[in-house]
Amino acid sequence: MAIALAIETSCDETAVAIVKNREVLSSVVASQMDIHAEYGGVVPEVASRHHVEAINPAIAQALTEAQVNWDHIDVVSATCAPGLMGALLTGLTAAKTLAMVHGKPFLGTHHLEGHIYASYLTDPQLQPPFVCLLVSGGHTSLIAVRGCGDYELVGQTRDDAAGEAFDKVARLLALGYPGGPIIDKLAATGNPKAFRLPEGRVSVPGGGFHPYDTSFSGLKTAVRYLIERLQKEQPDAPLPVEDIAASFQEAVVKALVKRAIAASQNLNIPTVVVGGGVAANSGLRAGLAAAAEPLEIRVIFPPMKFCTDNAAMIACAASEHFAAGRRSPLTLKANSRMGITQVMELYKP
């Protein structure tokens, strides 16, 4: 069984992990959340600077916690796409350097493939095919997973990602950053039926709606109009923040669950796995599980610590490609926008 050391620096988390097959030996995450909170979002230049400062201590800590040295490591990997270019380059350069210095094979890994593989850390016996609902701050996709590197994109957002919509609505409500955890907490005490908000359907030429694509920009705008109306009608009354949060979360969950279940049924794939930061949302976890149970659809969520960006999921994906005999050239470049269906471009026999 190969032991992989992986580095993840696609956004604002400096993460290093060591994974043996699908067992996590160590997982270190140096978060920049508090640093970017004062800006209301991630500042790319600031993120890159802090990656440079945090990466060497994170590598050392991962090796110590795993109780291994470089003689035990079989392959070195780093996220190379997609993400913030400066952030990606920091981790990619570090991984290439480590591979060269220690004479190890190198693998570039796709960030979204990592989120798919987070569920393998939950269930080591998981095997394709399955449908992956990938929901994060930058991506909302439905992916038919047929094998390692074999992905079909069946649905995606046409504008804002689900996590991005959470952040923007939180900003409208002056709740702070990141918005997802705050809204989830407030929604627990609010009335999800208090306000009717749009589901985010995408029309198709000739009539009807796309079965799997989503649109959250209109939902965000509807929340803004709702807030403005309430403030105009009742200028002296406090906003019903809990009810707005609950109604907004209900609309997002409804859209995601409906499409994930439809993909599972229409593709005849009775397993749905969920990845990405929004996979930690309690409403989504409860809603998808409730919809799937009577249809005998199996649903797998990663543990909370593997929902947000981490290097364990990157190492797990790299291990699978390594076992399949794939390698990446040391000339591999970072790519800020590579799609999930292009994963195999990262490897050569």
Q: What's the pLDDT tens digit per position in 34-72?
A: 888 877 888 888 889 999 999 999 999 999 999 999 999
Bond prior to 178 in cis (omega within 30° of 0): yes
User: What is the mean predicted confidence (pLDDT) over 157-185?
Assistant: 95
pLDDT range class, residue 7, cuts 50, 70, 90:
very high
b/e per residue 58-88 (b: at least 16 CB within 10 A): bbeebbeebebeeeebbbbbbbbbbbbbbbb
269 lies in the same domain as 313: no
Residue 301: the pLDDT is 96
- Tell me the pLDDT tens digit for each residue of 232-263: 999 999 999 999 999 999 999 999 999 999 99
Of 210, 216, 202, 217, nearest to 154 (Cα)? 210
Q: Is the model's pLDDT at 148 over the cut of 90?
A: yes
175 and 132 in one domain? Answer: yes
Same domain, yes or no: 207 and 276: yes
Domain ranges, residue 10:
3-117+307-346
Residues 17 and 41 in one domain: yes
**Distance separating alpha carbons of residues 97 and 105, to the nearest angstrom:** 11
Mean pLDDT taken over the chain: 95
The answer to whether residues 97 and 140 belong to one domain is no
Are residues 291 and 301 both part of a single domain? yes
My answer on whether 301 and 314 are in the same domain is: no
pLDDT band at 138 (very low <50, low <70, confident <90, very high): confident
Q: Which of 219, 213, 176 is nearest to 33 (CA)?
A: 176
- Are residues 321 and 336 located together in one domain of the fold? yes
DSSP letters for 274-313: EESGGGG-HHHHHHHHHHHGGGT-EEE---GGGTSS-SHH
Domain check: are 79 and 65 in the same one? yes
pLDDT at 126: 95
Least confident of 25-39, 86-100, 191-205, 286-300: 25-39
Confidence of residue 32 (pLDDT cuts 50, 70, 90): confident
Note whether 40 and 175 are same-domain residues.
Answer: no
How many structural domains does the chain have?
Answer: 2
pTM of the model: 0.94
Which two structure tokens, joined as six digits, stand for 265? Answer: 């049924």
> Are residue 65 and residue 201 in the same domain, yes or no?
no
CA pair distance 101, 157, nearest whole angstrom: 42
- Taking 80 as the threshold, does the pLDDT of residue 73 lie above it? yes
Domain with residue 51: its CATH number is 3.30.420.40
DSSP per-residue codes, 209-230 = B-SS-B--HHHHHHHHHHHHHH
